[in-house]
Structure 1
Amino acid sequence: MSTAELQPNELSSCLEALDQSNDFQVLRRLKPTKAYQTAPATGKVHKVCIIDTETTGLDTQNCEIIELGYQIIEFDSQGKLYKVLAAKNFLNEPEGEITAEVTQVTGLTFTDVEGHQIPWHEVQTDLADVTLCVAHNAGFDRPVLERYEPLFVDKIWGCSVQQIDWQALTDVGSRSQEFLCWKIGQFFYDAHRALDDVQALSQLLSLEIGSNQQPALSFLLQAVRQSKIIVKATGAPFDVKDELRKRGYRWNADARVWQKMMDEQRLEEEMVWLAANSTPNPTVVKLNANDSFSVRAQ
């Protein structure tokens, strides 16, 4: 008998039995929700936009958006998610081609997006009073979106890849969104389509993690609230490049320097490390609250 022939109560019993065994892990398909929990009668709530783009490539200065998905959700200062206010997905015809490699990842062909355009006026209305934008790789999505729509320039952004220490909080080494959903949330979804990715990330951020069992979003909010700086390893000798890379620095080809964004409160510790690695005079640039992950922070 196939699972398709099982009655719902029979299937539920099978899943419960598997869940109780140490030899199996059951993954359930994500069912998008309209509300993660009921908002309290008192207490201020804000709006977060969980957002994702599918593009024609990985060069943020030149790639084109072929799909945009986002959810706008109420949240509070403790990171609890409440009502989903909007869930939207738009296709967009690029000026250039959609390569076979992009189609393999996204499933989208030029025929799928031909004739479609993102209604940016609608996006502007939806995000007008959004407090925070969050992407799983904000360092990619934000620079791309800033090229298309000015409203993203002045928003505060958070990144669920860089601003949540998944390893320390969940003992999961990979920061891949799909893998985190499997390991922490025990659910799967159709990855690499914009709104599907957004709804999966929203669910992931609603899950309670860490020793104190707080919503994952709360840890991201803590990081967002920290003042940010860019540390440039000015004068670093060539032979420390591998150590810089391991520590999270990336090569800025235009400025010809290794650099990374970090919380300002960690600067003293970083200065000690750099000095111990033959780089005693780094350049430090203080960022504004809405600069994180923007081209202004590159």
Structure 2
Amino acid sequence: MQLDSMDYNLLAEQLSSSDDHRVLTRLSPVIADPPEGDQDLRKAIFVDTETTGLDPSLDEIIEIGMVPFIYNAKSGEIVGTLPAFNALREPGCAITPAITEITGITPEMVSGKSIDPNDVREFMSGASLVVAHNSKFDRPFLEIFCPAFSLAPWACSLEDVPWREAGLSGGQLQSLALQSGFFYDAHRAQTDCHAGIELMRRTRLRDGTHSFLSLLTKGRTPHFRIWAISSPFSLKDILKARGYRFNYEEDGRPRAWYVDKPASEVQTEIDYLHKEIYQTDASPIVVVKIEPGDRFTNRV
């Protein structure tokens, strides 16, 4: 028996009404149709990059995806998306089989292709915010490729949304999407952007607020970078598991583990370092204020 799309939708509704079944639907981006004259509406851009590796000083971008979306600055409601930008580029270094396995991008796909940074800058103009799912990774790459990204305020759908308060666990985008009831073809830039937007569009926290409102609130708030100077090498895995990152570069910043925290969490983190890491109050901890526009950058 052949079923049409309406039959499938009815079956999905019936299965979803059962406590013994969950139904996943393929991601279908919601196109923005904002009401005219709404002064609270803003445009943001969700970005994602595919690269040849993890180090922005050595590796290169091979794909950039950007999806603009409209949101309400007061409520955090996401209205929908606008036409996207997606392009491939041939890097000056090799695309290894491991990267192809992760991204699906082969050397043949990018051969002879390039991305004009001016086109990227023009596309992102007018956006009040840039969002990525793991902005600590994407922002350094994009700032090198297109300096306009260094002037834009950034937020992160991985760090700035308390997904547990939305009833979800973990942080991987694909896993969060599945828990939210949809699936998509992961690890391509534009598709990942649409998935990140849809995830925030359909989820709310336990108090009923839109999850994107949490991101907006954190994105407007100054943070503080806590440098755990000369922390014991034997405890590096503990710091890494707690969310710390290590600065390897000779760039004027300490060669040390660091983490970014809002003002309300700084003292708690310092107390933790004193007690669990250094085991003394005389600890070489350095705290640096980070303005909202400088979050997730390697320049601070």
Task: Provide TM-score, normalisation by structure 2.
Answer: 0.90
1:259 is aligned to: 258
SS at match of 1:54: strand
Partner of residue 175 from structure 1, selected from 152, 171, 183: 171
SS at match of 1:244: helix
SS at match of 1:229: strand
Cα shift readout 1:224-258 (whole Å, capped 9, x = no counterpart): 12211111123434454444334322233343422
- Quick check: 231-240 or 157-166, which moved more? 231-240
1:42–1:170 Cα change, 3 Å: closer
Partner of residue 283 from structure 1, selected from 283, 286, 293: 286
Cα shift readout 1:40-65 (whole Å, capped 9, x = no counterpart): 63323222110001111122222111
Q: Do the aligned residues in 2 keep the contact of 1:88 with 1:195 (CA within 8 Å)?
A: yes
Measured after TM superposition, the shift of residue 117 of structure 1 is 1.2
For residues 187-198 of structure 1, the aligned pairs below 5 Å read 187-198=182-193
1:152 is aligned to: 149
Partner of residue 74 from structure 1, selected from 35, 45, 70: 70
Counterpart CA distance in 2 for 1:126 and 1:95 is 24
1:247 is aligned to: 242
Q: Do the aligned residues in 1 keep the contact of 2:59 with 2:93 (CA within 8 Å)?
A: no
Q: Moved runs in structure 1, 4+ residues, more than 6 A?
A: none
5+ residue gaps, structure 1, are none
1:193–1:235 Cα change, 3 Å: closer
Counterpart CA distance in 1 for 2:275 and 2:106 is 51
- Quick check: 85-94 or 74-83, which moved more? 74-83
The alignment status of 1:20 with 2:9, answered yes or no, reads no
Q: Do the aligned residues in 2 keep the contact of 1:233 with 1:279 (CA within 8 Å)?
A: no
RMSD: 1.9
SS at match of 1:61: coil
1:162 is aligned to: 159
1:157–1:279 Cα change, 3 Å: farther
SS at match of 2:19: coil
- Quick check: 142-151 or 262-271, which moved more? 262-271
1:209 is aligned to: 204
- Quick check: 150-159 or 15-24, which moved more? 15-24
Q: Do the aligned residues in 1 keep the contact of 2:15 with 2:22 (CA within 8 Å)?
A: yes
1:244–1:65 Cα change, 3 Å: closer
For residues 43-82 of structure 1, the aligned pairs below 5 Å read 43-77=39-73, 78-82=75-79
1:271–1:40 Cα change, 3 Å: farther
- Quick check: 225-234 or 146-155, which moved more? 225-234
Partner of residue 96 from structure 1, selected from 76, 93, 96: 93
Measured after TM superposition, the shift of residue 149 of structure 1 is 0.6
Measured after TM superposition, the shift of residue 83 of structure 1 is 4.6
Measured after TM superposition, the shift of residue 160 of structure 1 is 0.9
What is the aligned residue count?
291
1:295 is aligned to: 298
1:288–1:13 Cα change, 3 Å: closer
Measured after TM superposition, the shift of residue 144 of structure 1 is 0.4
2:268 is aligned to: 269
SS at match of 2:83: strand
Counterpart CA distance in 2 for 1:274 and 1:143 is 27
